[in-house]
Structure formats: C-alpha cells, structure tokens
Structure 1
Amino acid sequence: MDALVVNVPDSQPSSGEPFGNDGWFPDIDQEHLRDSVRIHGDIPEPRLREACLYAMANVNRELRDWQSRQIESGYSSLAQVPGTQMGGESQLLMLYRRAVYSTVKADLTERYRDHDSTGAGHDRADDLSPGIDEQRRNARWAISEILGLSRSTVELI
C-alpha cells in the first residue's frame, strides 16, 4: 500500500520577539497579532514583520499631531495617556493595536494573489476583497476613535 503524502506549508518558527515601535507607541507582540487576526504560520516572520512595520508607520503618521499634543501634555507613552480602562488596560492601547492589526491583515490579504496565480487563486483573492475593505474600515474607525472623531458611513445611491 502506498503511503499517504500530506503537503504541509513550510512555516518558520517565530523568534517571538515583538516588533519594535518608536518608543512612544507600543511594540507589537507578533504572536498576539497572529492570534488576534488569524494570520497563519505559513506567513513567514519576515513578511509579517514588514507588513507590521509598514502598518505601524502609517498609523503613527496619522496620529502624529495627536501624539505631539499628548507629549506636550506630559505623557511619555500612549500607555500613560488617560483613557477608559477595559480588561485591565487602556482603551487607547486596544484601539491602537486594532488599527495596526487591521492594516496588517488587509495588507497581507491583498498579497494573497502572490501565492497562487491560477484562476482559482484569483477567485479566492476576489472572495477576500470584502474582508480587506472591512479591515481597512476597522483601522479607520480605530484611528478616528483615538482622535475623538465621530465616524460616519456614507453610501452612494
């Protein structure tokens, strides 16, 4: 009887090291990131790191003026900025992570087409498009909440 061969994607063990941020915004725990937005082990750490650093840079840039005001008020990190506590931590930290994680997930999902250029791969990527939009929306809403802006949804009819 022939042996059953199962192809398992190559996955590299993670170093477990957090992705370092700018010192004011928090570092990102890569395992928490993977678990929170279901990023599978077949996404290698270098690709995840690149997507996460890109996301942090974008979110940090969008929050730069707000961050400057907080620093002027004497807060040396996001964790020190007063905010509602939920689950033992600042809601601002949760919102920041949501903005970064959602941006990472959207970026990596958009790259799905790179993994399979067949028709089936493109169809699968097309199926993921609504999820990409939702992740981008989640990031926008989290940033708006940090900034204290109301959010609105507008549809063209």
Structure 2
Amino acid sequence: MGGFIPSGEATPAEEAELPNLDFYPAIVPAEFRSAMDVDTTVSTERLRLALQLSLMEVNRSLNDWAMAQIADGIATLAETTYVEYGSGETAVNHQEKLYQAAVFHLGKSRIIEHLRNFDSTGAGHNKADELSQPIDDFKREARRSVRAIMGQTGTVVELI
C-alpha cells in the first residue's frame, strides 16, 4: 500500500523577516507560521507573497492616519501609544501587536483562498464552500485591528 505524504520545502527558522516602511514594524514569517498555524506545506515564496501583499494593504489602509502621525512628529507606530504589556524583552506594544494581527489575518485569508484552488472534485468544492466563512472572519479581524490602531470603534450588525 502506497501513500503520499506532502512535505514543504520551507524552513521557518531560515525565513528572513519582511522589510517594511520605516513607520511600521517588520514582519517575521516564523511568527506568522506559529501564530496562524501555517505549516511548511505552504512554501516560503507563497507565504512571503501573501504577507507582503497583506502588509502593503494594511499600510495603504493606514496611510492617511500614519501621515498625520508623522506630521505630528511621531516617527514609528510604536510611538503612537504608551500602552505596553509586560516589561523588558517580553514587553508587547499594543499598536504593533494590532498591526501584526491585521497583517497576519489578511495573510492567512490569502493563503486559504489559494488553497481553495487545489481540489476540483465535488468534495473539493464543498470544502471550498466551508472555507469561505473563515476567510471572511480573517478579513473582518484585520479590519478590526486597523480600526483599533486608528482609535476608531467598530459596530457589529447582524442581518435579519
């Protein structure tokens, strides 16, 4: 009896962080893999592309707000708030964590959208339909994080 065991070529420890604009923090692919439960069956190239497109989209969403912060003399996202959780090397900056969440959730939605294309059987179509809800959930979480960075509240509306 034979079997196929997929194995990716990605080595998370060796994946270089993604550079970003000076105002925003860099994105670390290994942290994304760990936080969003993305294994090495997703190649390094595919993961980097999803994260790069996602950080560009988040940056574009925050552009006007970020330009206003820079005009006020604030050089980085981390400086826009004084809320830090923990201290020393384990300290977590609220704004940077929200930014990371926005990029990570959009990145995960892009990866799931791509995975939907692999199986064109009836079962594959059913699985693709099941993945639509998580994709929407990830995109919604990204929007919430972006709004939270800007200090805007959100409203949950249920359609009847």
Structure 1 length-normalised TM: 0.91
From 3, 7, 17, the counterpart of 2:4: 7
Kept in 2: contact 1:83–1:92 (CA 8 A): no
Matched, 1:140 2:143: yes
Equivalent residues, number: 154
Q: Is 79-88 or 118-127 further displaced after alignment? A: 79-88
Matches within 5 A, 1:56-135: 56-87=55-86, 88-135=91-138
Tell me the residue number matched to 2:37.
Answer: 38
Distance 1:43 1:117 in 2: 19
Shift of 1:76: 1.8
Shift of 1:8: 2.0
The one-letter code matched in structure 1 to 2:156 is T
Shift of 1:6: 4.0
Matched, 1:29 2:20: no
Tell me the residue number matched to 1:156.
Answer: 159
The one-letter code matched in structure 1 to 2:75 is S
Using the aligned pairs only, state the percent identity.
Answer: 32
Structure 2 length-normalised TM: 0.89
Q: Is 76-85 or 45-54 further displaced after alignment? A: 76-85
Deviations 1:71-108 (A, max 9, x none): 11222221222231124121000100010000011111
Distance 2:3 2:25 in 1: 40
Give the unaligned 5+ runs of structure 2.
none
Give the unaligned 5+ runs of structure 1.
none
SS at match of 1:107: helix
* Cα-Cα RMSD: 1.4
Deviating beyond 6 angstroms after TM superposition, the runs of 4 or more aligned structure 1 residues are none
Shift of 1:152: 0.2
Deviations 1:44-77 (A, max 9, x none): 0111111111100110001001111111122222
SS at match of 1:114: coil
